[in-house]
Structures are given as C-alpha cells and as structure tokens.
Amino acid sequence: MSARSELELAGQVVELVRRLGGPAAQAEAVVTRADLALTRFANSAIHQNVSESTAEVRLRLHIDGRTAAGSGSVVTAEGLTSLVERTVAAARLCPPDPGWPGLTPPTPTPDAPPVDEATAHAEPDQRADRVRTFVAAAGGLSTAGYCRTAHRSSAFANSAGHTGYGRSAEAAMDGIARRDGADGVARRYAARLSDLDGAELGAQAAAKAQAAADPVELPPGHYEVVFEPAAVADLLQNLSWYGFNGKRYAERQSFAEPGAAQFDRAVTLVDDPLGTSGLPFDAEGTARGALTLVEAGTTRAVAHDRRTAAEAGAESTGHAVAGGTTWGPMARNLRLSGAPAGPPSATGRSTTGTAAGAVVDTDTAALVAGVRRGLLVTDLWYTRVLDPKSLVVTGLTRNGVWLIEDGTVVRAVRDLRFTESYPRALGPGAVLGLGARTVRQPDRVDGTWWAAPSLRLASWHFTGGASG
C-alpha cells in the first residue's frame, strides 16, 4: 500500500460508517501496514528468520450515545463492510457511554523524523551480519538472542474531517552470552539498523558472563545500588504505565501529584515519541510531541488521551493507544535525564573489578567509584506491582549482580528478590548520581523504547534470594 491508498482506505471506512450507521454516527479509522522481521539465534547459531507484512484496520465509532471498537485485516470492499457492520451492531448492544469525549477536530500534525529506508527495507543477511559479529565477539561462549527490524506506515481519518499520515522504522538487538550457567546481557534500540554494533554488544554480554562466575549469597537488606540502563528501563516502564497514566490518575490509583516535588532534583522525565522515528499522531489522531512529566524532581504532568483529558478538564497530550478505554493513555518513549554524576574516565570502557573483572562503560564506572558498599545491578525482570498507588513493585535481578566495596567491584552475587516503591527510591535526596549518556532499551512492544543512563540510588530493598 502507499500513503494515498492507506488514506483512501481510512476514508472509505468512515464513509461506510456514515452510510450504515447513519449521518449522526461518529467514527475514526486507522489503517496501518506493518513490515516486521526477526532473526533469532540460540546455541550461537541462527535457528529462525521470519518476516510478515500485514495490514490492519482499526475502527472506533459512537452511535446514539454508545461506543464500540473493532478491527480487521481484510482490506477488500467486503472485508471493510463486514468490519463496519459488526462494529455498528456491537455499538447498539453496548451500555451508554456518557464519557465519550468526541472526535479530534481537524488539526495539523507535526513532521515526523525521516525514516531510514535501509532499516525499513532491511534484508535478512543484514540482521544475520550483526548476529555473526555478536557470536564472534563472545569468544566461544554460548549465545542466544535476536535482531529485529520493523517498518510501519499509518493513516488516520475521522468523520470530523481530520486526517493524518506517518511512517516509522526501528531496529533492536537483544542477546546473552552464557558461561557455566551465568548470563551476561546486552541490548539496544535504534532508529537505524546501521547503529547496532553486534560486536560491541557481544563483547559486552561476554564480559558480563565471565565476570558473573562463582557468585556468593548476600543477606537481604537495604543496599546502595548502581543500576545499569537495562535495569533503569524497568523503572521507567512501570512509572509510565502505572504512575503517569491519566486513567489511573483519574481513578486515584496513581502516585502522581502534578506540582509536587516527588522526585530527586536530579530527575527529569520526558516522553519523546518523535525523538528518533515515530508516528506523528496517536490512536485518536491527536498530534504527538515531547511531554515533560517530571522536571528537576517536580511532577509536571500525566499522559492523557481525549477521554481522560475531558475528565481532568485538560487537553489530550497525544497518548491514546488502542484499547485505551481499558488500559488508559501511556507514555511509551520515556527518557530519563539529569545532571551527570561527574567526569568519566578517559578510556572508552573500564574494568572496575579485581576477582570479578566486571566490565562497565565509563558512566557506570564513575558511579561505582563513589560507592562505599553496595551492589551493581545489570537487569530487573519478572516485576509485578503490589500496590499501584505507591507503586510498590516486587521482582528479581538477572544477568549479573556484583558487590561493590570502596568503589571497586569485588565479586559476583547470586540473584536477589526485591520489594521496593519506585517513586520512593527516586525521591528527594535518594538519587546519588546519573550517567551522562542515555542508552535506548527496546521493549517487547514494537515502537516502545526507554532511554536511560546508569543510575546510582541511596537505597534499594532486597528481601531475599531468587528462590524466596
């Protein structure tokens, strides 16, 4: 499909709603073509290369005070008619929707960043080259992971006369190296496949796996920590989905208090969907742009779609997502920034350990150097929210934890379970340093990334070993 055909299809769906649902029906349609490709490897060899090209039509309509949504992948005349007919029928069976915020009026959308055509049309051998260099850089350790590329083009139309079109492309790589049951990880998100260096990532994963051998058990308790970007990404994801979500805020299930100094002054959080390559409008056609959620420690905003904005007496911030009535609006391109911890060392990478020999980048090394006794944490996983209001989360470390003593990484530590309030851990006086360089981390959901530097926190509550 082309831009014109996608816009034409979206317009056809809106016209069908007018014909089949009546002139008073309000409708919005999004037509998206997605070209997704994945090269996966395990046991240091590629075992799967898959790609798919799909077209999807999403429709939301409001008839006689009732709202319904539907989607389909058959873009023939018959397929579009079937989609509209069943969505109109569903709307007539739905309960009244007094919170319907109306349609996005005709408004200009911003210019999106240019799409890297080489990434949009990447061939399997280009992804395989990055896998090959990753495996080679691991120095014989067993490796596994993936390299993926994605290209999307999307058109929007509604019965208020608003239209929009945009394209996006992205690439990501995520891999581990394993030695004697110890895993090291390296992952990266980029708007251009050429920015992914398989050799750099493979060497990073292998160094961590080598350094994670022979871990010791530590007692539970509160430890000062240095989180690498992979771990910080989990903080950003949970803060976004549970804290800066306009629906949860309206339901009083969010910690967010706009205007209050809830975070350390070193913390600034900005959602920047057009910071690399992204669609210039959200699921409701509202223009997307940078939104500052936290500025120098003070909460400034939460993300809104049209429904939550109407409830709050505000304006949509361009964060509507498909299924937003259930999940609420989400900031999915969050960047943490702030004052860096201090000047990094002159070398590109630094060995900060003796027995452990953990290799970290210069940002992380600068943070580690200031820790008298604490833990260096690579990654968090299996995190689950225990209390949404205070955002108390439990989860596990993985892919490498090390003990720090007197600014030096001394040895590997077995994985630990934690229970911690994320806002408290980032609260006033709790952030002891941030790295100067942000690293984009991919998410399981395409089009979502988290940009984070390494982060030094005064306290993190570890409640036991990984087994309990």
pLDDT digits (tens, 9 = 90+) for 157-190: 999 999 999 999 999 999 999 998 899 999 999 9
pLDDT of residue 447: 86
Statement: residue 344 has pLDDT above 50: no
DSSP class of residue 214?
A: S
**Cβ–Cβ < 8 Å for 429, 402:** no
> What distance in Å separates the CA atoms of residue 66 and residue 437, rounded to the nearest whole number?
48
- Domain assignment of residue 30, yes or no: yes
pLDDT of residue 4: 66
C-beta atoms surrounding 93 within 10 Å: 8
242-246, 343-347, 357-361 — most confident range: 242-246
User: Is there a single domain that holds both residue 45 and residue 116?
Assistant: yes
- Domain assignment of residue 181, yes or no: yes
- Domain assignment of residue 242, yes or no: no
**Cβ–Cβ < 8 Å for 261, 255:** no
- Domain assignment of residue 436, yes or no: yes
pTM across the whole model: 0.93
> What distance in Å separates the CA atoms of residue 69 and residue 151, rounded to the nearest whole number?
25
In angstroms, the Cα distances linking 416 to 227, 331, 397, 446 are 14, 29, 6, 29
Statement: residue 153 has pLDDT above 80: yes
pLDDT of residue 1: 57
Q: Where are the beta strands (DSSP E) in 45-128?
A: 45-63, 66-72
User: Is there a single domain that holds both residue 213 and residue 77?
Assistant: no
> What distance in Å separates the CA atoms of residue 401 and residue 410, rounded to the nearest whole number?
11
Residue 426, both tokens: 């980032």
| Domain containing residue 224 | 208-235+338-465
In angstroms, the Cα distances linking 160 to 13, 73, 99, 106, 276 are 13, 24, 18, 7, 30
User: Is there a single domain that holds both residue 433 and residue 293?
Assistant: no
Q: Compute the mean pLDDT over every residue in the chain, rounded to the nearest whole number.
A: 93
**pLDDT-derived band at 341, boundaries 50, 70, 90:** low
Domain stops at, among 307, 334, 361: 334
- Domain assignment of residue 244, yes or no: no
User: Is there a single domain that holds both residue 80 and residue 142?
Assistant: yes
pLDDT of residue 351: 42
CB contact set of 406 (below 8 Å; sequence gap of 6+): 372, 373
DSSP class of residue 427?
A: S
Domain stops at, among 288, 308, 334: 334
The sheet with strand 26-42 has its strands ordered as 66-72, 45-63, 26-42, 142-158, 163-179, 182-190
Q: What is the DSSP pairing of strand 142-158 with strand 66-72? A: unpaired
In angstroms, the Cα distances linking 103 to 190, 315, 324 are 33, 13, 15
User: Is there a single domain that holds both residue 37 and residue 175?
Assistant: yes
- Domain assignment of residue 370, yes or no: yes
DSSP class of residue 239?
A: I
C-beta atoms surrounding 425 within 10 Å: 23
CATH code for the domain in which residue 35 is found = 3.30.2290.10
Bigger pLDDT: 347 or 13? Answer: 13
The H or E element containing residue 27 is strand 26-42
% of the chain exceeding 90 in pLDDT:
88
Residue 412, both tokens: 């590997």
Domain stops at, among 316, 334, 352: 334
52: β partners: 36
DSSP class of residue 303?
A: B
User: Is there a single domain that holds both residue 145 and residue 180?
Assistant: yes
> What distance in Å separates the CA atoms of residue 345 and residue 429, rounded to the nearest whole number?
25
User: Is there a single domain that holds both residue 203 and residue 214?
Assistant: no
User: Is there a single domain that holds both residue 13 and residue 129?
Assistant: yes
Burial category of 125 from C-beta neighbours within 10 Å (exposed 0-12, middle 13-18, buried 19 and up): exposed
Q: Where are the beta strands (DSSP E) in 64-195?
A: 66-72, 142-158, 163-179, 182-190
Residue 157, both tokens: 């139309």
- Domain assignment of residue 18, yes or no: yes
**Cβ–Cβ < 8 Å for 425, 457:** yes
The H or E element containing residue 232 is helix 229-238
User: Is there a single domain that holds both residue 199 and residue 140?
Assistant: yes
pLDDT of residue 2: 60
Statement: residue 47 has pLDDT above 90: yes
Mean pLDDT of 32-45: 97
**Cβ–Cβ < 8 Å for 401, 360:** no
Statement: residue 314 has pLDDT above 70: yes
**Count of domains for the chain:** 3
User: Is there a single domain that holds both residue 31 and residue 106?
Assistant: yes
Q: Which amino acid is at 427?
A: G
User: Is there a single domain that holds both residue 121 and residue 171?
Assistant: yes
Mean pLDDT of 91-106: 96
pLDDT of residue 350: 43
Q: What is the DSSP pairing of strand 298-299 with strand 359-361? A: unpaired
User: Is there a single domain that holds both residue 95 and residue 161?
Assistant: yes
- Domain assignment of residue 127, yes or no: yes
